[in-house]
Chain A
């Protein structure tokens, strides 16, 4: 059978990734562990000395932690929406990158909530959320929504790696320890690809793909409502729900492109992840850039035009002490992908990756500008408090924990890629729906 042969060939190609860890990869993992170690030390400092070690004070009560929380959750929702949508629309070019999107969804979803925990003063009382939870509080909505989302994403990921796990189980030449083989065998649920099994799996995956998209939108809106239900000028905005969702998918697309680039280089996937995929994702990113720019513009335009006193003071802060971050996040972060991907000549892989990097950093600053300047310009001007309470700047503890989060993200991605290939082997080996067997690997073929 041609199909199984190609599957075998693919597995043959990806086996080394799974079987052994190269010297460089070991260094990489140790490096990540070191960064995480520093983060753990910072965390211990925070627990033993109190939140005084952070830059947060009575006015700016939420700092980089919340920014990172929004950022990682955004990546997760982006992963979920992209993988769900690509799956549902049966897009042909999805196949090599859908696994990465799924990993992105679940890994950042595991890291994100950690940041909100860092923000909590009494971690020892965390279970009160379940014990005394009040339904009126958006935090409760968030707790329910995020835990539901984690379950959904895990089920969706499992459904999509099931066939690959079964493949790995059946791939006898795989040189991995016995326990891993047993694990594959256990996790594969005895999937052998009978028509009935295939039908059921497809049905479940379709349902979950739709659910994951819906939940991602709801969950990220809930996150936005944490801010917009308050009366703070700058947060109290009806547009925040959709704005956050779009910003999330936008930044997540950027992260996905970066991931594609890194894995392409690290695992030599040039043959699978091609310029076509970068361009395709780039186009998605451009659409989102336009939407993001539109939402950002709407939000700030109405604030500026109406110029209510408190909105005005917020805009003033944004255009004075946060001038460059504002320009970077809301102008450069939108224009760079529009130009790079918009002009066909510029659509090279490094260019698209570069603009994705800009997008990711810009969107981190965008969140920073949503959280911190608002807290620095409350209704009552910040007065009669100690000078060190006036303005926020993160401390080493916060940045160490931020770095640790990024390192953990990279580490989990690395480990996940060592468990099940980052390329969806079984989907790749499925016959293309439009019967253009060559098309998939044709790097020169243009998009659309």
Chain B
């Protein structure tokens, strides 16, 4: 059983790799693509010549999950990635609270355990309606109340739709936290040791290293997007729940499948959460129809402390979690 799993994993990773190869190739031919630019740097002109790059001889291991673009400066981070408008689609039918989105995001952003940019809710809209898992990143609203209420312009919206926080500017008044109706923002209540893990220069695009007394939140990982990688949550979801893409290009992808955004939303009746509030989110949800597994399988294999977080849900109360 276990062996089979492993085999499958290997297979799928191989397939993923082959696909990545294809993407890289596409990049080379497309020429203008971001990925192409990255790949090209090692590419010789002809097969006869050997790459001119000198090697230091030192082999370095690099955590693949952590590779991202060099960090842009704070002032540069105010400009969006040109010609893009990012959108996320979350397929509730596939989510079973594997929590890889949460973990990889925390690792990628050097977050302490208390701070989560991505949260997975267990919602049940009414007594008789069905419960479902609800991963919640920042919605990067097009009418962001958090940005409106910020007294010092520490949080800002860019031309690519991403709402970022500059923790060098933030005074920590927490008004944005009360302004956000989706409880998306988190506060650095103390100097967490995890903040010190990140030795690189601070950039709002990376939301790292964190700073005591300031607000932080999900940033749609523009530092990954710049090198053509999906945000941590989308990259690492084993179920392919999270799709990410450019809404102007009408395409979203979860890494394995690439779909037309408009068709996906049309066919699956995609919606935005709490549309009534007029915040105009950039995150769409696909309703949890035709689920592939029972909803309570989301409790399997959870740490006790994580399980305890769902005690207060209607389901948790009924089943004495």
Contacts and interface: CB of A to CB of B under 8 A. Distances in A.
Whether chain A touches chain B in the assembled complex (some CB pair under 8 Å): yes
Interface of A: 49-52, 56-59, 61-62, 116, 119-122, 125-126, 128-129, 131-134, 136-140, 143, 226-227, 229-232, 235, 375, 378-387, 389-390
29 contacts: A50-B213, A51-B189, A57-B189, A58-B183, A58-B187, A62-B178, A121-B212, A121-B215, A122-B172, A128-B169, A132-B152, A134-B150, A134-B153, A137-B149, A137-B150, A137-B151, A143-B151, A230-B149, A375-B178, A380-B123, A380-B136, A383-B119, A383-B309, A383-B310, A384-B119, A384-B120, A384-B122, A385-B116, A386-B309
B175 interface: yes
Given A50-B188, A125-B170, 20 more contacts: A50-B189, A58-B183, A62-B174, A121-B170, A121-B214, A129-B151, A133-B151, A136-B149, A137-B151, A137-B175, A139-B173, A139-B175, A232-B181, A381-B121, A381-B312, A382-B183, A383-B310, A384-B121, A385-B119, A387-B308
B30 interface: no
A51 B213 CA distance: 7
Interface string B142-169: 0001001111111000000000000001
B170 to A, nearest CB: 7
Contact of A120 (B169, B172, B212, B305): B172
Nearest to A378: B183
Contacts of B171: 120-122, 125-126, 128-129
Contacts of A136: 148-149
Contact of B310 (A139, A229, A380, A384): A384
B191 A384 contact: no
Given A122-B213, A231-B145, A128 B182 contact: no
Contacts of B213: 50-51, 120-122
Which 4 pairs show the lowest CB-CB distances between chains A and B? A121-B172, A121-B213, A50-B190, A139-B151
B313 interface: yes
Contact of A58 (B179, B186, B212, B214): B186
B149 A139 contact: yes
Interface of B: 114, 116, 119-123, 136, 145, 148-154, 169-175, 177-179, 181-183, 185-191, 212-215, 274, 277, 279, 305, 308-310, 312-313
B150 A378 contact: no
B116 A384 contact: yes
Contacts of A231: 145, 179, 181, 277, 279
Q: What is the interface of chain A mostly: helix, strand, loop, or mixed?
A: loop
Contacts of B170: 121-122, 125
A383 B174 contact: no
A409 to B, nearest CB: 24
A59 to B, nearest CB: 7
